[in-house]
Amino acid sequence: MKLINTSLHEEKKSKFYGYLYEIETQDEIKIILEDLKKEHKKLRHAPYAYKFKNTAGKTDDKEPSNTAGIQILNVLERNNLNNHLLVVVRYFGGKKLGAPLLLRSYSKAANLCIK
């Protein structure tokens, strides 16, 4: 596993940190997530998506359904990134963003991490 890039997007005091990793197996995902949770002790959510040549997966990590994981997976697919994991760590800024703004914020953080 190799960290390739990071990003930061802020929206109404919520912070969205993107992390793009090159990975070889699904087992590495658990290790990366554990490391990120140790590094970001006050994170609220850590949705992610991964893509290999023949399989892909995603999770919203307790965000409203289809507001995070699918957006992150779409970024991986649009950029044809196989053997990659993209995680977006969210710190809650005190205001609920609502599903449309969450969707855009996760997508923006993921896209920033790819560029």
**Domain residue extents for the chain:** 2-114
User: What pLDDT, on a 0 to 100 scale, did the predictor assign at position 1?
Assistant: 87
pLDDT digits (tens, 9 = 90+) for 18-54: 999 999 999 999 999 999 999 998 888 999 999 998 8
Spatial separation of the C-alpha atoms in residues 107 and 104, rounded to whole Å: 5
115, pLDDT greater than 90: no
At the topology level, CATH places domain 2-114 in Ribosomal Protein S5; domain 2 (3.30.230)
Average pLDDT, the chain: 93
pLDDT confidence band for 94 (50 / 70 / 90): confident
- Whole-model pTM above 0.95? no
pLDDT band at 2 (very low <50, low <70, confident <90, very high): very high
